[in-house]
């Protein structure tokens, strides 16, 4: 499975492409880790099977051979201990990057993420910082069923003190991770496991992409689709097919869920008058509920030609059977149908 996605619109925020180099999302993550470790001795990795094994999804690859067992540190299966160790190492002056094998397993580490890492800077009145990154793959589509397929981004985005990033392209996977490692406080980077083997342009020497900057992936006239994670590429695919029917679609990717840069989202919705909010996670109290609230709390609400529409995963655990699994989360056809009906009904 190799798909190429268009480079994001990064007006004024990122270096422009100088080559046509195309690498996978997983390679982009690895490149960011390698560059960060090469540039700064304080950066090191902690996680399960990230060493010789190369990571459960192959993300860390050869980093163990390049940087050694001290800095690409295999851990026992003990998520709470791993994240806690990262918090402590960060307080002691290091820049740890934790890999949690599946984002579902962050449940085991919630105290250290939510009660410790997220709170320390504020709780101590700014007297200490916790410069750590937690990377974890999320999402369904691999047949791994309910305990290995969740999209828990809204949990993290709900906690003050955590920044939450969901890169949807290879270039973002690299650039956002570099910025996350730079950040003086905890950043949760949620990588979609279906994206690891997809490819995209990542210019030689591509650098940081700032946190908190929404990307406009495609500019259209009729409908604004806001999407995160793997839904970005599905929405772009839907947009191509809708274009053939004469429906011109914008696709907007917040990239950073917290803090949320909502201005480009609200501007585009004001222009098109129609908002389709697409997420893989269950809809109830999900991230797109926040986006919908921001639309109705802003002047964009006066420009709406139709009610805001959400297209989310069903409010069920992710099932195992392939037919059930794919039906549980938005697919390209569902996005097309939703966008089309939104235009037709208004």
Nearer to other proteins, 110 or 144 (CB): 110
Three-class secondary structure of residue 56 per DSSP: coil
Nearer to other proteins, 76 or 246 (CB): 76
Residues 6+ apart with CB under 8 A from 108: 79, 80
Among candidate residues 27, 31, 35, 79, the one labeled active-site is: 79
Distance of closest approach, residue 79 Cβ to other proteins, in angstroms? 8
Nearer to other proteins, 111 or 345 (CB): 111
The residues binding other proteins (CB under 8 A) are 39-40, 42, 44, 70, 75-76, 78, 80-94, 96, 111-112, 115-116, 120-129, 160-163, 179, 182-185, 258-259
Nearer to other proteins, 125 or 246 (CB): 125
End-to-end CA distance of the chain: 37
Give the residue from 49, 36, 260 showing the smallest Cα distance to 156.
260
Distance of closest approach, residue 325 Cβ to other proteins, in angstroms? 31
Nearer to other proteins, 52 or 124 (CB): 124
Distance of closest approach, residue 132 Cβ to other proteins, in angstroms? 9
Q: Which two tokens stand for residue 106?
A: 């962050």
284 has catalytic annotation:
no
148 has catalytic annotation:
yes
Distance of closest approach, residue 160 Cβ to other proteins, in angstroms? 7
* Number of alpha carbons in the 13 Å side-chain half-sphere of residue 210: 12
> Which run of H or of E encompasses 110?
helix 110-110
Distance of closest approach, residue 115 Cβ to other proteins, in angstroms? 5
Quote the CA–CA distance of 231 and 278 in Å, as a whole number.
Answer: 7
Nearer to other proteins, 86 or 138 (CB): 86
Nearer to other proteins, 45 or 242 (CB): 45
Distance of closest approach, residue 85 Cβ to other proteins, in angstroms? 3
- DSSP readout, 307-339? --EEEEE-SSPPPSSHHHHHHHS--HHHHHHHH
Distance of closest approach, residue 86 Cβ to other proteins, in angstroms? 6
Quote the CA–CA distance of 83 and 108 in Å, as a whole number.
Answer: 10
Question: What backbone torsions phi and psi does residue 97 show, to the nearest 5 degrees?
Answer: -120, 115
Q: Which two tokens stand for residue 61?
A: 């690859």
Residue with tokens 């290091």: 94
Residue 60: count other Cβ atoms within 10 Å of its Cβ: 28
Give the orientation angle of helix 25-39 with respect to helix 170-182, to 10 degrees.
30
Among candidate residues 148, 280, 290, 325, the one labeled active-site is: 148
Give the residue from 66, 24, 25 showing the smallest Cα distance to 43.
66
Quote the CA–CA distance of 275 and 277 in Å, as a whole number.
Answer: 6
Angle at alpha carbon of residue 190, lines to 239 and 150, rounded to 5°: 85
Residues 6+ apart with CB under 8 A from 38: none
How many residues does the structure list for the chain? 346
Task: Please list the active-site residues.
Answer: 79, 148
């Amino acid at each position: 499975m190799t798909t190429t996605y268009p480079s994001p619109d990064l007006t004024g925020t990122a270096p422009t492409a100088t080559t046509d180099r195309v690498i996978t999302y997983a390679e982009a993550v690895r490149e960011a880790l390698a560059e960060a470790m090469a540039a700064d001795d304080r950066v090191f990795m902690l996680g399960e099977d990230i060493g010789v094994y190369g990571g459960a999804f192959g993300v860390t690859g050869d980093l163990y051979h390049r940087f050694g067992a001290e800095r690409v540190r295999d851990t026992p299966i003990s998520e709470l201990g791993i994240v806690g160790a990262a918090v402590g190492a960060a307080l002691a002056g290091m820049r740890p990057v934790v890999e949690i094998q599946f984002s579902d397993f962050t449940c085991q580490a919630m105290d250290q993420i939510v009660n410790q890492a997220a709170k320390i800077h504020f709780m101590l009145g700014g007297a200490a910082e916790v410069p750590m990154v937690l990377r974890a793959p999320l999402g369904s589509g691999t047949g791994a069923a309910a305990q290995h397929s969740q999209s828990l981004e809204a949990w993290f985005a709900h906690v003050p003190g955590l920044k939450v990033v969901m890169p949807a392209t290879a270039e973002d996977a690299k650039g956002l991770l570099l910025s996350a490692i730079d950040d003086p406080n905890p950043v949760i980077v949620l990588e979609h496991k279906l994206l690891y083997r997809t490819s995209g342009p990542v210019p030689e020497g591509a650098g940081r992409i700032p946190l908190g900057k929404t990307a406009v992936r495609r500019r259209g006239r009729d409908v604004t689709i806001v999407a995160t994670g793997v839904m970005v590429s599905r929405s772009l695919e839907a947009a191509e097919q809708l274009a053939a029917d004469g429906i011109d679609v914008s696709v907007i990717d917040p990239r950073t869920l917290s803090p949320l840069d909502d201005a480009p989202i609200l501007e585009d919705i004001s222009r098109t008058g129609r908002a389709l909010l697409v997420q893989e996670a269950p809809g109830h109290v999900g991230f797109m509920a926040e986006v919908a609230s921001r639309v109705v709390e802003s002047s964009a609400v006066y420009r709406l030609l139709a009610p805001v529409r959400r297209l989310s995963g069903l409010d069920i655990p992710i099932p195992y059977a392939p037919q059930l699994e794919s039906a549980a989360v938005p697919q390209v056809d569902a996005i097309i149908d939703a966008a089309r009906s939104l235009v037709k009904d208004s």
